[in-house]
């Protein structure tokens, strides 16, 4: 394996780590803090970098564990969810105008209502485009469990979304 360099190999993971942390905590400041903590922890274990099969998977695992720890401390998840939704509608960038779309906001809220494991699996699969093996390694579960969680998550979003569409709930 080639020599791992912090600036070139670990720092560029910041966005993936941030998105996963944000998906779990639903709080952007908290998520940024988690990415920072993750990187400091990984930095302190720099002697072991060469031993990891995938430094990316390791970083994502650390970030997820930190995010779960912290999100347990956040008292009201619903308030955080609403905060996040209003943050999105604040943007004026034309590219992000799609996010003003009410339907997309509904998807966002439905997704964030899922249990943490399903949320993380969907995040890693549908947004980061990772295969089952990588996700299993990051979450420390079997590939079968990854698939089960992904299936349940996707089905729940589909079902709830169609309910809202059809009955205007």
Partner 1 sequence: MDYKYIEQLLERYWDCETTIEEEQILRAFFHQEDVPSNLIQYKPLFVYQKEQKSILLGEEFDKKMLGLIEKPVVKAQKLTIYRRFAPLFKAAAMIAIILTVGVVMKKSVDNNGGLIYVYDQYQGNNSDPQVAYDSKLPVDSINNIVKDQEGSQVENN
- Part in contact with partner 1 (CB under 8 A); list of ranges 49-57, 60-68, 69-77, 126-134: 126-134
Span interacting with partner 1, options 54-62, 63-71, 74-82, 127-135, rule CB under 8 A? 127-135
Contact between 3 and partner 1 (CB under 8 A)?
no
Chain residues 138-167 in contact with partner 1, contact rule CB under 8 A: 147, 150-151, 154-155, 157-158, 161-162, 165
Distances (CA, A) of 67 to 28, 40, 143: 11, 15, 22
Q: Which of 42, 23, 43, 22 is nearest to 32 (CA)?
A: 22
By CB under 8 A, the residues from 55 to 94 that bind partner 1 are none
CB closer to partner 1 out of 61 and 110: 110
Q: Min. distance of Cβ 161 from partner 1 in angstroms? A: 7
Residue in 9, 99, 116, 143 binding partner 1, rule: CB under 8 A? 99
Minimum distance from residue 73 beta carbon to partner 1 (Å): 22
- What backbone phi and psi angles, to 5 degrees, belong to 126? -80, -20
101 is a site residue for partner 1 (CB under 8 A): yes
Which residue in the set 9, 81, 113, 128 belongs to the binding site for partner 1 (CB under 8 A)? 128
């Amino acid at each position: 394996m080639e020599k791992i360099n912090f600036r070139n190999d670990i720092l560029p993971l910041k966005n993936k780590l941030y998105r996963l942390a944000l998906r779990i905590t639903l709080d952007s400041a908290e998520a940024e803090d988690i990415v920072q903590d993750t990187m400091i922890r990984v930095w302190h274990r720099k002697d072991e970098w060469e031993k990891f099969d995938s430094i990316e998977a390791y970083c994502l695992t650390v970030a997820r564990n930190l995010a779960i720890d912290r999100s347990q401390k956040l008292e009201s998840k619903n308030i955080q969810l609403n905060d996040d939704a209003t943050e999105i509608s604040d943007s004026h960038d034309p590219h992000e105008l799609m996010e003003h779309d009410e339907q997309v906001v509904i998807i966002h809220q439905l997704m964030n209502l899922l249990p943490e494991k399903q949320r993380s699996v969907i995040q890693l699969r549908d947004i980061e485009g990772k295969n089952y093996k990588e996700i299993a390694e990051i979450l420390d579960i079997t590939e079968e469990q990854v698939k089960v969680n992904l299936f349940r998550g996707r089905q729940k979003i589909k079902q709830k979304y169609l309910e809202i569409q059809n009955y205007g709930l």
